[in-house]
């Protein structure tokens, strides 16, 4: 099994919004696609244990903001690399609510889908949601950001991040698994998703 | 519901191979993504009624060839717009077989995944397959072809196809629905997936 083969799968970048019981959160994912028409259905895969899928399971609804090429690294970092249990990721943003009462943003997204969960399947590391799209709105004419373009154009290159900050841990950018400490052995593999060291990014001291 | 919102979802292009009972076929789709790790799982959505998903349901396995930027329109046309019940799409190609005995090509693909169906869900117009990836091979270093690049760079532009050929029908490029006859009204919408006339492409007389 050559794990590099999986890097050739093409994805977009999405801002998933969800809420339940007065709480709400959003996260970044690359795993949304349309899988049926009439009624229109999409699939969304989320890492088990994260806050957003927990809220989706409770509220049975979510929004998909299709992130566009105007998004910068700070935006992706805020929604994709922080923990919504600890802080309010929406702070400073003008949050809107869709027909299902689910939160979404119009910042850096070109379209928003309102989704109602039809079924969910636990796949071990992830839960796969199948959802009906009950509303869809175009927000901007910007091109959608692809996962490949995120790595090529948005994510800071290694030399740009070669700064004074102290590395205190490493995070798998595939599944989100984190390891404490400044060093990560060259032959290290993620114990959760088995991806190699090259898929880990440093966590810096705040 | 603004259907244009769905055009912002990002996809790749895939050559799906399947076989059962001495028969085999392949088709082009844009609907494969990885949805879980350990074990690695992907989803694939196929239009109901087509030959390849019928073979997948019977054989419980399929291959995913990740189509790359070297693919030309003839290749996409052969595997994506012809009917495998009527002809052998593999004619002239050097067919290989994976660990599950499923057919695949190394022409114009940069990687091949061997998949075993774990579950299938009928979503009305489409069937969603969840499958475990049992093998993955890198075939070439070419970049994968995205769905957007297919339309921008591979599919002939209208003026290029303004040729002498006679239009005998129209095919929805979203769901494959076909209409007979040379004319399609401007306000026509696909009765199957509700996409507008602009998503239909002409079918020419052979």
Domains assigned to chain A: 3-150 (2.30.110.10), 159-204 (2.20.28.10)
Residue A163, chain B, CB below 8 Å: the answer is: no
Q: Is the pLDDT confidence value at B161 over 60?
A: no
Nearest CA in chain A to B112: A5
CA distance B184 to B168: 11
The Cα of A19 is separated from the nearest Cα of chain B by a number of Å equal to: 22
Q: Please check whether residue A204 touches B, CB under 8 A.
A: no
User: Do B128 and A45 make contact, defined as CB atoms within 8 angstroms?
Assistant: no
Q: What is the pLDDT of residue A101?
A: 97
Give pLDDT tens digits for A39-54: 999 999 999 999 999 9
Residues of B within 8 A of A32 (CB-CB) are 9
Q: Is the pLDDT of residue A59 over 70?
A: yes
State yes or no: pLDDT of A89 exceeds 70.
Answer: yes
Is the pLDDT at A191 greater than 90, yes or no? no
Task: Give dist(CA B159, CA A61) in Å, integer.
Answer: 44
What integer pLDDT is reported at residue A67 of this predicted model? 97
pLDDT tens string B38-55: 899 999 999 999 999 999
Whole-model pTM above 0.90? no
* ipTM of the complex as predicted: 0.77
Q: What percent of chain B has pLDDT over 70?
A: 97
Average pLDDT, chain A: 92
Supply the pLDDT for residue A107.
Answer: 96
Tell me the three-class secondary structure of chain B, residue by residue. CCHHHHHHCCCECEEEEEEECCEEEEEEECCEEEEECCCCEEEEEEECCCHHHHHHHHHCEEEEEEEECCCCHHHHHHHHCCCCCCCCCCCCCCCEECCCCCEECCCCEEEEEEEEEEEEEECCCEEEEEEEEEEEEECCCCCECEHHHHHHHHCCCCCCCCCCCCEEEEEECCCCCEEECCCCCCCCECCCCCCEHHHEEEEECC
More confident residue, B124 or B103: B103
Question: Could you tell me the pLDDT band of residue A164, with boundaries at 50, 70 and 90?
Answer: confident
CA distance A58 to chain B (A): 21
In angstroms, the Cα distances linking A8 to A108, B34, B136 are 25, 11, 11
Question: For A11-49, what is each residue's pLDDT tens digit?
Answer: 999 999 999 999 999 999 999 999 998 899 999 999 999
B43 vs A35: CB contact, 8 Å cut-off?
yes
Per-residue confidence (pLDDT) for residue A7, from 0 to 100: 87
Peptide linkage before B39 cis (omega within 30 of 0): yes
Pair of tokens at residue A78: 């805020």
**pLDDT, averaged across chain B:** 92
Residue B65 in this model has a pLDDT that exceeds 70? yes
Each residue of A101-157: pLDDT tens digit? 999 999 999 999 999 999 999 999 999 999 999 999 999 999 999 999 998 999 887
pLDDT of residue B205: 85
């Amino acid at each position: 099994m050559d794990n590099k083969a999986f890097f050739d799968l093409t994805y977009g970048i999405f801002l998933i919004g969800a809420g339940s019981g007065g709480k709400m959160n959003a996260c970044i994912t690359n795993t949304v696609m349309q899988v049926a028409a009439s009624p229109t259905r999409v699939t969304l895969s989320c890492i088990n244990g994260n806050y957003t899928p927990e809220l989706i399971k409770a509220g049975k609804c979510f929004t998909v903001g299709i992130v566009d090429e105007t998004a910068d690294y700070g935006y992706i970092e805020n929604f994709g690399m922080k923990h919504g249990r600890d802080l309010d990721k929406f702070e400073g943003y003008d949050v809107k609510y869709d027909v299902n009462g689910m939160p979404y943003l119009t910042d850096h997204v070109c379209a928003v889908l309102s989704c109602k969960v039809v079924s969910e399947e636990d796949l071990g590391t992830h839960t796969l949601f199948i959802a009906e799209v009950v509303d869809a709105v175009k927000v901007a004419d910007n091109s959608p950001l692809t996962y490949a373009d995120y790595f090529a154009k948005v994510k800071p290159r290694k030399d740009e991040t070669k700064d004074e900050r102290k590395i205190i841990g490493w995070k798998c950018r595939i599944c989100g698994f984190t390891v404490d400490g400044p060093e990560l052995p060259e032959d290290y593999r993620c114990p959760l998703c088995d991806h190699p060291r090259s898929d880990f990014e440093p966590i810096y001291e705040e």
